[in-house]
Structure 1
Amino acid sequence: MAKANTTGMIQAAKEHLLSGLPTTRLEALILFGVSNLPEVVYELRQAGWVIKSRTIPYATAMVRVNKYAVFAATRQSTNTRD
């Protein structure tokens, strides 16, 4: 599943899930660098873990992400004469 350089990020996502904390695809990507959360969940289920799924509003996920991450746009010049 994972390349050697992503194993730690996937392990962090698994530990987060197994601690009982919810994780959305957005959170997995931003906080753990895991782009395919369903594959992580699939592996945990195959190993015998019970993982419950539920839908949460996008705004709720953003509030949770904003507790740990700050995003800022950078201004990029489109003028080629700079």
Structure 2
Amino acid sequence: MTTEHEGPGNLVILANFVSPLAVDLTEETVLRQWAEQAPRKLWLTRPGDVLITPTPLSQSFQRYVFHRLRAVP
């Protein structure tokens, strides 16, 4: 998994989905914590990227990140 863009093109970022632990349903506490942290992956995106998270991102958080990254929401 890459955490930075290397060259042109867009990325699809699967926030906290890809892990052997993620398929172990007995790890409910860890999975819940990952779901709460998933929106932080928005900082890794750039225009044209797709971010898939297990929880919705609030509009206010999206606006804040896009403003800080100087991107258009």
TM-score w.r.t. the length of structure 2 is 0.34
Q: Which has the larger radius of gyration?
A: 1
**Which has the higher relative contact order, 1 or 2, with Cα contacts under 8 A spaced 6 or more apart?**
2
Bigger fraction of residues in strand: 2
Bigger fraction of residues in helix: 1
